[in-house]
Structure 1
Amino acid sequence: MMNGQLTRVREGRWIAGICGGIAKQYGWDVNLIRLVFVLVSLLGTLGIGILVYIVMWFFIPLESDNGMSPGPQYWQG
């Protein structure tokens, strides 16, 4: 189930909302996405997943207040 443009979520996020945004976009379980991210980041990739997460944090926009479309700010820290 695709909901348009990929955005970072505002609610239920742990760090930047990347995993929540991916889960929301495709209708997957957010905890499964987080687990896969941690495993990929720590096992066999020498932490490249962390770098990818930071890049995604910068380029994926934060969803708007109503959760329907991306807001104008791309960097929310």
Structure 2
Amino acid sequence: MSLAEDLSRLDELHRQGGLSDEEFAQAKAKVLSRGETPARNDAVVVQALNGLRRSRSDRWLGGVCAGVAQMTGVAAWIWRISFALLALCAGSGVLVYLLLWIFVPEEPVVTMTPRQLGS
């Protein structure tokens, strides 16, 4: 069944009294979430990846692990251990780290004016 047919069937059931307002809203939300296109999900992933920045404050080498940690919500030390373990696997961790160091920009420098400092 198509999305439009599902919605019209739900609307008909709601008008006939087969579904309460709350049940109708839940069923409609379920049908609409099922009909979500993968392009929307891809856009969210692309937007998240475009937000990836290397950290300026929490860095050991290039700030890659702290930047990935900020984006994913996983602690930076876990990423550091992961890259170190991957480095033991034919150097793949070193390669990935270097590529991220080269291609991921640093987070912008935050400067404060004397007015913001309270002077």
Give the alignment's TM-score, normalised by structure 2. 0.49
Q: Report which of the two has the higher share of helix.
A: 2
Between the aligned partners of 1:35 and 1:26, the Cα distance in structure 2 is 15
Q: Which residue of 2 aligns with 1:73?
A: none
User: How far does residue 57 in structure 1 lie from its aligned partner after superposition?
Assistant: 0.7
RMSD between aligned alpha carbons?
1.7
1:4-59: per-residue Cα shift (whole Å, max 9, x none)? Answer: 610000002000000000001111111111111111211xx211211111111110
User: 1:18-33 counterparts in 2 under 5 A?
Assistant: 18-33=64-79
Q: Which residue of 2 aligns with 1:69?
A: none
Tell me how many residue pairs correspond in the alignment.
Answer: 63
Which of 53, 59, 70 does residue 7 from structure 1 map onto?
53
The runs of 5 or more residues in structure 2 that have no matched partner are 1-47, 111-119
Higher relative contact order (CA 8 A, sep 6+): 1
User: 1:55-66 counterparts in 2 under 5 A?
Assistant: 55-66=99-110
> Partner letter of residue 102 of structure 2?
F
The runs of 5 or more residues in structure 1 that have no matched partner are 67-77
Which of 57, 63, 67 does residue 17 from structure 1 map onto?
63
Rg (Cα) greater in structure: 2
Q: Tell me which stretches of 4 or more aligned residues in structure 1 moved more than 2 Å.
A: none
Between the aligned partners of 2:81 and 2:97, the Cα distance in structure 1 is 14
Give the alignment's TM-score, normalised by structure 1. 0.73
Q: Which residue of 2 aligns with 1:48?
A: 92
